Structure 1
Amino acid sequence: MMNLLRLSFLPQSADLGLLILRVSLGFSMLLLHGWDKFQNFSVKAPNFIRLFDVVPSHISLGMAVFAEVVCSVLIILGFFTRFAALNLAITMAVAFFIQHKGQFTGPASGELAFVYLVGFATLVFAGSGKYAADGK
Protein backbone atom coordinates (compact mmCIF):
# COMPACT_ATOMS: atom_id res chain seq x y z
CA MET A 1 0.00 0.00 0.00
CA MET A 2 2.84 2.44 0.83
CA ASN A 3 4.39 1.88 -2.61
CA LEU A 4 1.08 2.81 -4.17
CA LEU A 5 0.81 5.98 -2.07
CA ARG A 6 4.41 6.94 -2.86
CA LEU A 7 3.84 6.24 -6.57
CA SER A 8 7.09 4.29 -6.50
CA PHE A 9 6.00 2.37 -9.62
CA LEU A 10 6.60 5.58 -11.62
CA PRO A 11 10.17 6.47 -12.54
CA GLN A 12 11.60 9.57 -10.88
CA SER A 13 13.19 12.00 -13.29
CA ALA A 14 13.85 15.66 -12.62
CA ASP A 15 14.79 16.03 -16.28
CA LEU A 16 11.44 14.69 -17.44
CA GLY A 17 9.71 17.02 -14.96
CA LEU A 18 11.65 20.00 -16.35
CA LEU A 19 10.70 18.99 -19.90
CA ILE A 20 7.00 18.87 -18.95
CA LEU A 21 7.30 22.23 -17.15
CA ARG A 22 9.13 23.87 -20.07
CA VAL A 23 6.77 22.64 -22.76
CA SER A 24 3.55 23.33 -20.85
CA LEU A 25 4.57 26.81 -19.70
CA GLY A 26 6.09 27.69 -23.06
CA PHE A 27 3.15 26.58 -25.19
CA SER A 28 0.51 28.08 -22.93
CA MET A 29 2.34 31.43 -22.74
CA LEU A 30 2.90 31.50 -26.50
CA LEU A 31 -0.57 30.41 -27.59
CA LEU A 32 -2.76 31.97 -24.88
CA HIS A 33 -0.95 35.27 -24.32
CA GLY A 34 1.92 36.12 -26.68
CA TRP A 35 0.42 35.26 -30.05
CA ASP A 36 -2.59 37.56 -29.56
CA LYS A 37 -0.34 40.46 -28.55
CA PHE A 38 1.86 39.81 -31.59
CA GLN A 39 -1.05 39.65 -34.05
CA ASN A 40 -2.89 42.66 -32.61
CA PHE A 41 0.12 44.81 -31.73
CA SER A 42 -1.17 48.05 -33.25
CA VAL A 43 -4.59 47.65 -31.62
CA LYS A 44 -3.20 46.83 -28.15
CA ALA A 45 -0.27 49.28 -28.11
CA PRO A 46 -2.16 52.49 -27.23
CA ASN A 47 -3.77 50.95 -24.12
CA PHE A 48 -0.85 48.81 -22.94
CA ILE A 49 0.90 49.50 -19.64
CA ARG A 50 3.46 52.32 -19.50
CA LEU A 51 6.27 51.08 -17.28
CA PHE A 52 6.90 53.48 -14.40
CA ASP A 53 5.30 56.23 -16.53
CA VAL A 54 8.59 56.41 -18.43
CA VAL A 55 8.58 53.59 -20.99
CA PRO A 56 6.04 54.23 -23.78
CA SER A 57 3.28 51.65 -24.13
CA HIS A 58 4.40 50.44 -27.56
CA ILE A 59 7.90 49.73 -26.19
CA SER A 60 6.59 47.84 -23.15
CA LEU A 61 4.25 45.86 -25.43
CA GLY A 62 7.20 45.07 -27.70
CA MET A 63 9.16 43.78 -24.70
CA ALA A 64 6.19 41.65 -23.64
CA VAL A 65 5.82 40.24 -27.16
CA PHE A 66 9.54 39.42 -27.27
CA ALA A 67 9.26 37.56 -23.97
CA GLU A 68 5.92 35.87 -24.60
CA VAL A 69 6.64 34.80 -28.20
CA VAL A 70 10.39 34.53 -28.77
CA CYS A 71 11.36 33.45 -25.26
CA SER A 72 8.46 30.99 -25.10
CA VAL A 73 9.73 29.28 -28.25
CA LEU A 74 13.24 29.17 -26.77
CA ILE A 75 11.89 27.57 -23.60
CA ILE A 76 9.91 24.96 -25.55
CA LEU A 77 13.06 24.04 -27.46
CA GLY A 78 15.21 24.22 -24.36
CA PHE A 79 17.60 26.65 -26.04
CA PHE A 80 19.05 29.48 -23.91
CA THR A 81 16.45 28.35 -21.38
CA ARG A 82 17.69 30.30 -18.37
CA PHE A 83 17.95 33.55 -20.38
CA ALA A 84 14.46 33.06 -21.82
CA ALA A 85 12.99 32.10 -18.44
CA LEU A 86 14.53 35.18 -16.82
CA ASN A 87 12.90 37.42 -19.44
CA LEU A 88 9.55 35.75 -18.89
CA ALA A 89 9.88 35.84 -15.10
CA ILE A 90 10.52 39.59 -15.26
CA THR A 91 7.57 40.05 -17.61
CA MET A 92 5.31 38.09 -15.26
CA ALA A 93 6.61 40.03 -12.24
CA VAL A 94 5.63 43.26 -14.00
CA ALA A 95 2.22 41.78 -14.85
CA PHE A 96 1.62 40.60 -11.29
CA PHE A 97 3.02 43.48 -9.26
CA ILE A 98 2.30 46.46 -11.54
CA GLN A 99 -0.64 45.55 -13.77
CA HIS A 100 -2.51 43.40 -11.21
CA LYS A 101 -1.16 45.26 -8.16
CA GLY A 102 -0.19 42.00 -6.44
CA GLN A 103 -3.80 40.85 -6.08
CA PHE A 104 -4.54 37.13 -5.96
CA THR A 105 -8.33 37.46 -5.96
CA GLY A 106 -11.01 39.72 -7.33
CA PRO A 107 -11.76 41.07 -10.79
CA ALA A 108 -8.15 42.20 -11.37
CA SER A 109 -6.64 38.95 -10.09
CA GLY A 110 -3.03 38.34 -10.94
CA GLU A 111 -3.09 34.71 -9.82
CA LEU A 112 -2.19 33.36 -13.27
CA ALA A 113 0.66 35.84 -13.69
CA PHE A 114 2.00 34.71 -10.30
CA VAL A 115 1.80 31.03 -11.28
CA TYR A 116 3.71 31.77 -14.48
CA LEU A 117 6.23 33.84 -12.48
CA VAL A 118 6.94 30.93 -10.13
CA GLY A 119 7.22 28.46 -13.01
CA PHE A 120 9.64 30.62 -14.98
CA ALA A 121 11.66 31.43 -11.85
CA THR A 122 11.97 27.68 -11.27
CA LEU A 123 13.43 27.30 -14.77
CA VAL A 124 15.86 30.18 -14.14
CA PHE A 125 17.33 28.29 -11.19
CA ALA A 126 16.89 24.68 -12.36
CA GLY A 127 17.81 25.12 -16.02
CA SER A 128 16.42 23.13 -18.92
CA GLY A 129 17.30 19.57 -17.92
CA LYS A 130 18.91 17.04 -20.23
CA TYR A 131 15.94 16.78 -22.64
CA ALA A 132 16.67 20.15 -24.23
CA ALA A 133 18.72 21.71 -26.99
CA ASP A 134 21.10 23.13 -24.40
CA GLY A 135 20.78 20.15 -22.02
CA LYS A 136 23.86 18.64 -20.49
Structure 2
Amino acid sequence: MKSLLNKTIWTISEKGVSISILVLRVGVSFSMLYLHGYPRLISFNEISSEFADPLGIGSPTSLGLVVFAEFFCSLLLIIGLFTRWSCIPLIITMMVATWVINEGKDFIFQEKSFVYLITYSSLFLSGGGYFSLDHLRSIQKKT
Protein backbone atom coordinates (compact mmCIF):
# COMPACT_ATOMS: atom_id res chain seq x y z
CA MET A 1 0.00 0.00 0.00
CA LYS A 2 2.77 2.41 0.94
CA SER A 3 4.56 1.86 -2.37
CA LEU A 4 1.32 2.42 -4.31
CA LEU A 5 0.70 5.64 -2.37
CA ASN A 6 4.22 6.91 -3.07
CA LYS A 7 3.87 6.21 -6.78
CA THR A 8 0.50 7.91 -7.20
CA ILE A 9 0.84 10.97 -4.98
CA TRP A 10 4.49 11.91 -4.78
CA THR A 11 5.71 11.24 -8.29
CA ILE A 12 4.97 13.61 -11.09
CA SER A 13 5.86 13.27 -14.73
CA GLU A 14 7.87 15.74 -16.76
CA LYS A 15 4.67 16.53 -18.69
CA GLY A 16 2.90 17.21 -15.40
CA VAL A 17 5.62 19.67 -14.41
CA SER A 18 5.37 21.32 -17.83
CA ILE A 19 1.59 21.60 -17.49
CA SER A 20 2.11 23.27 -14.10
CA ILE A 21 4.63 25.67 -15.63
CA LEU A 22 2.19 26.40 -18.47
CA VAL A 23 -0.66 27.19 -16.07
CA LEU A 24 1.60 29.37 -13.92
CA ARG A 25 3.19 31.12 -16.91
CA VAL A 26 -0.08 31.88 -18.72
CA GLY A 27 -2.17 32.65 -15.63
CA VAL A 28 0.21 35.07 -13.96
CA SER A 29 1.33 36.68 -17.21
CA PHE A 30 -2.23 37.23 -18.40
CA SER A 31 -3.04 38.79 -15.03
CA MET A 32 -0.03 41.12 -15.29
CA LEU A 33 -0.76 42.02 -18.91
CA TYR A 34 -4.50 42.60 -18.50
CA LEU A 35 -4.59 44.25 -15.07
CA HIS A 36 -1.37 46.28 -15.16
CA GLY A 37 0.37 46.43 -18.55
CA TYR A 38 -2.58 47.05 -20.87
CA PRO A 39 -4.15 49.87 -18.79
CA ARG A 40 -0.78 51.63 -18.63
CA LEU A 41 -0.19 51.12 -22.34
CA ILE A 42 -3.52 52.61 -23.43
CA SER A 43 -3.28 55.55 -21.03
CA PHE A 44 0.44 56.16 -21.52
CA ASN A 45 0.12 59.84 -22.51
CA GLU A 46 -2.27 60.67 -19.66
CA ILE A 47 -0.19 59.11 -16.87
CA SER A 48 3.39 59.54 -18.13
CA SER A 49 3.91 62.93 -16.49
CA GLU A 50 2.76 61.79 -13.04
CA PHE A 51 4.14 58.22 -13.05
CA ALA A 52 6.59 57.36 -10.28
CA ASP A 53 10.28 57.90 -11.07
CA PRO A 54 12.06 55.76 -8.48
CA LEU A 55 15.33 55.49 -10.41
CA GLY A 56 15.63 59.15 -11.41
CA ILE A 57 15.40 58.51 -15.17
CA GLY A 58 12.24 60.52 -15.76
CA SER A 59 8.60 59.59 -15.41
CA PRO A 60 7.94 58.85 -19.12
CA THR A 61 11.04 56.64 -19.32
CA SER A 62 10.09 54.81 -16.11
CA LEU A 63 6.58 54.25 -17.44
CA GLY A 64 7.96 53.05 -20.77
CA LEU A 65 10.14 50.47 -19.04
CA VAL A 66 7.23 49.31 -16.89
CA VAL A 67 4.94 49.00 -19.94
CA PHE A 68 7.66 47.07 -21.77
CA ALA A 69 7.93 44.64 -18.86
CA GLU A 70 4.28 44.36 -17.85
CA PHE A 71 2.76 44.25 -21.33
CA PHE A 72 5.29 43.06 -23.89
CA CYS A 73 7.31 40.69 -21.69
CA SER A 74 4.07 39.25 -20.30
CA LEU A 75 2.90 38.64 -23.85
CA LEU A 76 6.11 36.76 -24.59
CA LEU A 77 5.66 34.69 -21.44
CA ILE A 78 2.11 33.76 -22.39
CA ILE A 79 3.32 32.23 -25.64
CA GLY A 80 6.46 30.87 -24.00
CA LEU A 81 8.96 32.69 -26.20
CA PHE A 82 12.26 33.89 -24.73
CA THR A 83 10.90 32.90 -21.32
CA ARG A 84 14.00 33.47 -19.24
CA TRP A 85 14.90 36.72 -21.01
CA SER A 86 11.31 37.96 -20.61
CA CYS A 87 11.41 37.30 -16.88
CA ILE A 88 14.38 39.60 -16.27
CA PRO A 89 12.58 42.95 -16.86
CA LEU A 90 9.59 41.66 -14.88
CA ILE A 91 11.80 40.59 -11.98
CA ILE A 92 13.50 44.01 -11.94
CA THR A 93 10.13 45.80 -12.16
CA MET A 94 8.71 43.76 -9.28
CA MET A 95 11.84 44.32 -7.18
CA VAL A 96 11.48 48.08 -7.66
CA ALA A 97 7.76 47.92 -6.92
CA THR A 98 8.30 45.85 -3.78
CA TRP A 99 11.35 47.48 -2.24
CA VAL A 100 11.47 50.99 -3.68
CA ILE A 101 7.92 52.11 -4.50
CA ASN A 102 6.35 50.41 -1.46
CA GLU A 103 9.32 50.76 0.89
CA GLY A 104 8.31 51.48 4.45
CA LYS A 105 4.66 50.56 3.86
CA ASP A 106 2.94 47.64 5.52
CA PHE A 107 3.66 44.33 3.80
CA ILE A 108 0.08 44.20 2.54
CA PHE A 109 1.08 46.90 0.00
CA GLN A 110 4.16 44.91 -1.02
CA GLU A 111 2.46 41.51 -1.14
CA LYS A 112 1.16 41.55 -4.73
CA SER A 113 4.43 42.67 -6.28
CA PHE A 114 6.30 40.23 -4.04
CA VAL A 115 4.15 37.30 -5.23
CA TYR A 116 4.74 38.34 -8.84
CA LEU A 117 8.47 38.56 -8.06
CA ILE A 118 8.52 35.01 -6.66
CA THR A 119 6.58 33.73 -9.66
CA TYR A 120 8.81 35.37 -12.26
CA SER A 121 11.92 34.21 -10.40
CA SER A 122 10.57 30.65 -10.47
CA LEU A 123 9.80 30.90 -14.19
CA PHE A 124 13.29 32.27 -14.79
CA LEU A 125 14.74 29.19 -13.09
CA SER A 126 12.41 26.66 -14.74
CA GLY A 127 12.18 28.07 -18.24
CA GLY A 128 9.09 27.80 -20.41
CA GLY A 129 8.61 24.05 -20.13
CA TYR A 130 7.50 21.56 -22.76
CA PHE A 131 4.43 23.56 -23.82
CA SER A 132 6.23 26.67 -25.03
CA LEU A 133 7.65 28.13 -28.19
CA ASP A 134 11.06 27.96 -26.50
CA HIS A 135 10.74 24.17 -26.48
CA LEU A 136 9.75 24.11 -30.15
CA ARG A 137 12.75 26.31 -30.99
CA SER A 138 15.07 23.96 -29.12
CA ILE A 139 13.73 20.96 -31.09
CA GLN A 140 14.26 22.80 -34.39
CA LYS A 141 17.82 23.67 -33.44
CA LYS A 142 18.60 19.98 -32.84
CA THR A 143 17.42 18.93 -36.31
* Global fold match (TM > 0.5): yes
Q: Mind listing any 5+ residue stretches in structure 1 that lack a counterpart?
A: none
Distance 1:81 1:9 in 2: 27
Pick the aligned partner of 1:60 from 59, 62, 66. 62
Give the equivalent residue in structure 1 for 2:17. Answer: 14
Q: Secondary structure at the match of 2:86?
A: helix
Q: Which amino acid aligns with 1:126?
A: S
Kindly provide the amino acid, as one letter, of the partner of residue 133 in structure 1.
Answer: L
In structure 2, distance between residues paired with 1:7 and 1:119: 27
The C-alpha deviation readout for 1:57-77, integer Å capped at 9, x for no partner, is 100000000011110000000
Distance apart, 1:35 and its partner CA: 0.4
Structure 1 position 30 matched with structure 2 position 33: yes
1:33-85 deviations in whole A, cap 9, x for unaligned?
00000011111111211133x20010000000001111000000000000101
Q: Does the CA contact (< 8 Å) of 1:105 and 1:111 recur in 2?
A: yes
Equivalent residues, number: 133
Which residue is equivalent to 1:124? 124
Residue aligned with 1:125, SS = helix
Give the aligned partner of residue 70 of structure 1: 72
Distance 1:29 1:119 in 2: 11
Asked whether 1:80 is paired with 2:82, we answer yes
> What amino acid is the match of 2:36?
H
C-alpha offsets along residues 74-106 of structure 1, whole Å, 9 cap, x if unaligned?
000000000101111111111111111164535
d(CA) in 2 for partners of 1:102 and 1:114? 14
Q: Whose helix fraction is larger, Structure 1's or Structure 2's?
A: 2
Cα distance, 1:58–1:126 mapped onto 2, change above 3 Å: same
Contact residue 104 and residue 111 of structure 1 kept, 8 A:
no
Larger gyration radius, structure 1 or structure 2: 2
Local SS of the residue matching 1:61: helix
Moved >4 Å (runs of 4+): 1-4, 9-12
